[in-house]
Amino acid sequence: MLRLFLFLFFLTSAVTPVWAQTPAASTAKQPVKTALKDGAFRRKGTMMRIQGGKVTPLTAPLKLANGTTVYTDGRIVSKNGTQRLTNGRAINMQGDVVGFNDDMLSAATIQQLDEQVTGYKGTTVVMPNALSAETLKALARVERKATLVQQLTEKLAERAAQAVPVSEEATRINAELNTLDKQLQ
């Protein structure tokens, strides 16, 4: 009996760490859907074209935005001369030669990989509204009242000018004030 008990004890102590190291199905990594930027790359000696996220063999020369031309044999002809694209390298639509694995992934794919590897989901800053809806309505009413008061002041000034006879000296002073006002603007 003691031997059976010891045997079961050693068996469970040997198997328990294996169970502890096995990841649960819910924590298993989800595959990342890879989205690629447009361009061309070389894989196993064959030039491939990426367009709209789809990879197809490059069957005709590809003209890029900066005037560079990519040929089906891997040659890249640009203003600076000719070079050959090596395996694992790519050229984007701007004409920059880049590493395929590093620089041809879309921004969304990079973010998804970052979330998967590090768990970082980015920082979101939420700013509360500085003013409530009621305050905004009250502010609009005050602005409207200020506009109406300005119009009323102008109308009263016109009536006062019509009601009181203006002397020559007052007319001259008003002309000087208008001249100074125009110079300040």
Task: Note the pLDDT tens digit of each residue in 37-58.
Answer: 888 888 888 888 988 878 899 9
Q: Determine the Cα–Cα distance for residues 100 and 86; give it in Å rounded to an integer.
A: 11
Give pLDDT, residue 133: 84
Q: pLDDT tens digits, residue range 99-152?
A: 877 777 777 777 787 787 787 777 777 777 677 888 889 999 999 999 999 999
When pLDDT is cut at 50, 70 and 90, the band that residue 182 belongs to is confident
The H or E element spanning position 46 is: strand 46-51
**DSSP string of 86-133, one letter each residue:** PTTEEEETTS-EEEHHHHSB-HHHHHHHHHHHH--------PPPSS-H
